[in-house]
Structure 1
């Protein structure tokens, strides 16, 4: 390394520590008190997840209150969710696979490899965006019909997706690359990445939907403009002077030994998010069969509330990820244990609190998304059933996110596949044949039954593998 680059790296380390973390180097991930550090990193990431959720939820809130067509339009846009989840899942495949590995190499003081990971992931994210855009523009109508759209709702779905597809590259780069900002400890900057877009979306939605009378097309246009603003912010930061890991031209060429381990680790998160798309199709097709459009419309609201539950848990995990990954790379196993225990306590506390609120006030959650009295009443009952096991989900997410932070690709994949494909999808089709008195509600019941079984499996697997992994580090 030349003298100039050494000086630049010194400047970057100083800016990295001074901008947000207040320490003289990146060892703050090993030296600050865990409670204070998790709070510092998790609050912005949780806020970022909640803000990010506004992109789709604010759209649905506004769409659901469009005079005369609100309920039908909401159902049509709800059927788009599997496609939107697929786009997000590909961003997670690259970003949430690469970011923990970059943190681990930072813990090993191997900045060169960490930056290669960043550059490779950026290039792959662009390539994936181009392919997804073409697929969504060409086949979105076919996908939507297969995903449960009816003749009454299909045009709303198509109108939304035709515009949303054009902004795929902004969604991919924003979500995928923002993970690298958070992974370096720049939690506040990561939060600002999504805050910029979310505020723009909240402002633009009513202008386009009601002011310009564009209905669902206005919601889609507001979303892609907002994501474009976030994308500009993320790329500017990762190419600027304040970041520790920087996007450099020399690292943009794809290298198999760099990118393949990232993809292997990201597969679990990809499955977790992409399977939501498959599961949404299964739910919608089954609900359309037993309950018609109102049951599918209710599912749109249930999915939104579940996002409200899940995203803060993911934010907590992302806040803990830099600590766990960095300390694991530095072989500080006691701190890894402490960080996981704290993550588990906070995650479980949150999931129990939200479960209580849903059980006590289901109507309040439903009213956020619809003013239709019939749909609201129907959703209240469905929501209590669908979220019945939510109180346990803090355990699931804490274990799953820690597997990812430790770079344990296989265990992460097993946990994701077990909950979604082995348990939930079969239950969606089996339970209506067992509980024949109310087959529609039996479909919703598949979610809590699968959750209880999945949490049990995950907790047992994690307790075994976590001890084994840390023991191997200590004896190495």
Structure 2
């Protein structure tokens, strides 16, 4: 493939003049493929580890919370800088965009080193905190110790991917992500079974694939990115650090609260699962991976929308922002409706595919069907969160981003299991999704009403 680079002015003109359906297709399909492939290799981890035992399956589910924390901090830097860069490109402030790119990349790498060291030092108490039972704990510790070694590369991969994506280079970003995902799927059976490394093999496969993805993304970034990363342009001025925080905190909340939700879910499943605690934790972990795969399609639409949104908002083309939002809303709703029907019809065999245990499948199938019934509501919630975040409405974006797995989920996972036992665990996310939709509908609609007319030209 021949790699070419537009200059900043060409890229801005392209994003502010091309028809919205064409732009959404060009930017959403690659990001959707990237997200679904990433979710697929997370599912592959679960499927391969599921061939070992319930403890290993549950350990990967518990460790997913720690990985979500790493991703949350990565999203802080990647989405925070990416949103800022796209708006500055739209406003033709190219030097400001370059300084943000350098600042976010190098601070992310330093943060990854610190986070990795702390994770290795405190891996055992962290594993307990995440919900490991005594039988699961040794497996979780072995898995996470390997994951933390690769933290700097995992975080920098997220940053580079988002820099490319927010600059309108979604297909280029996809190459790096998909390559890493394919490597993970190929390495899993080799390391887990071929070299008899068990759960540590799954973790090592993830780390190796993330390093490969980082190296490839760095090379693609040097050849294709409109805004390059250079050490001498790094700046710790307040406006860049504030830009990262304002643009990235909603994503960190969304991902970080997802991690908290998984911890609470594991604790509730372990407590209310009784004699089947390990099976309940394993079941809810598998359900989480399956629904994450479905949501990855929606997030792909949303991430394709973000560079269109940011650049056009920065350029004052508000009507194009609104048009792109509703176009993605229609596509996302149709896609998730298909996933919902498939999930409801094939819930039990899907569970057995990941863990051939009838008790795990029975517990998980009910939870999966419940979540699929309201899955389409998350289209509005997630797209509104991305809209608000990209146009710089950090406070509203944080509220919307926190709703599904924070503001609404935490009360539900505490209350419903207390009232209904294990059934409350299985239906907590469904209840949280309904309440989150009711909260975010008026917030999102009021902002969209403000985007009916373009900003007057100076």
Q: Matched residues in 2 for 1:75 and 1:45: separation? A: 29
Aligned to 1:131: 114
**Could you say which residue in structure 2 is the equivalent of 1:75?**
58
Does 2:5 match 1:16? yes
Aligned match of 2:393: 408
Give the C-alpha shift of residue 475 in structure 1: 9.1
Paired residues for 1:280-429 under 5 Å = 280-291=262-273, 292-429=277-414
- CA-based RMSD of the aligned residues comes to 2.0
3-state DSSP of counterpart to 2:309: helix
Within 5 Å, give how 1:205-284 maps onto structure 2: 205-238=188-221, 240-284=222-266
Q: How far apart, CA to CA, are the structure 1 residues paired with 2:248 and 2:263?
A: 23
Q: In structure 2, what is the Cα distance between the partners aligned to 1:382 and 1:33?
A: 41
- Give the aligned partner of residue 54 of structure 1: 40
Deviation at residue 150 of structure 1 after TM alignment: 1.4
What is the rounded CA distance, in whole Å, between the counterparts of 2:419 and 2:453 in structure 1?
Answer: 46
8 A Cα contact 2:153 2:210, kept in partner: yes
Distance 1:183 1:26, change over 3 A: same
Work out the CA distance in 2 between the residues paired with 1:27 and 1:204. 42
Q: Could you tell me which of 425, 429, 444 is aligned with 2:426?
A: 444
- Between 1:446-455 and 1:26-35, the stretch displaced more is 26-35
Equivalent in the alignment of 2:89 = 106
Q: Distance in 2 between matches of 1:131 and 1:299?
A: 31
Deviation (angstroms), 1:470: 5.8
Partner Cα separation in structure 2 for residue 104 and residue 206 of structure 1: 43
1:393-415 deviation line (CA, Å, top 9, x unaligned): 11111211111221221111111
Q: For the residues of structure 1 that align with 2:422 and 2:375, how far apart are their CA atoms? A: 20
Query: How many equivalent pairs are there?
Result: 453
Q: TM-score, normalised to structure 2's length?
A: 0.94
CA displacement 1:109-154 (0-9 Å, x = unmatched): 1111111110110011012101110121011211111222112211
Counterpart secondary structure, 1:390: coil
- In 2, the alpha carbon distance for the partners of 1:428 and 1:387 equals 18
The 3-state SS of whatever aligns with 1:15 is coil
User: What is the alpha-carbon distance in structure 2 between the residues aligned to residue 265 and residue 25 of structure 1?
Assistant: 21
Q: Deviations over 1:299-336 (max 9, x none)?
A: 11111012112222111111111111111111112211
Is the Cα–Cα contact under 8 Å of residues 385 and 398 in structure 2 kept in the other structure? Answer: no
Offset at residue 425 of structure 1 (A): 0.5
1:387 CA drift (Å): 3.5
Counterpart among 27, 51, 70 of residue 65 in structure 1: 51
* Matches of 1:84 and 1:328, distance apart in 2: 33
Q: Which runs of 5+ in 2 are unaligned?
A: none
- The answer as to whether partners of 1:314 and 1:401 remain within 8 angstroms in 2 is no
Any idea what the Cα deviations from partners look like across 1:169-224, whole Å, max 9, x if unmatched? 11101112210101111111110111111111111111111110001111111111
**Alignment-derived partner of residue 86 in structure 1:** 69
TM-score by length of 1: 0.91
Deviations for 1:43-81, whole angstroms, at most 9, x for unmatched residues?
000001112223422111111013xxx222101121111
Conserved? CA contact 1:385–1:441, under 8 Å: no
Structure 1: which 5+ runs fail to align? 1-13
Tell me if the contact between 2:302 and 2:386 (Cα under 8 Å) persists in the aligned partners: yes
Give the drift of 1:469. Answer: 5.6
2:160 & 2:11 partners in 1: Cα distance? 23
**Is 1:43 the counterpart of 2:26 in the alignment?**
no
Partner SS for 1:80: helix
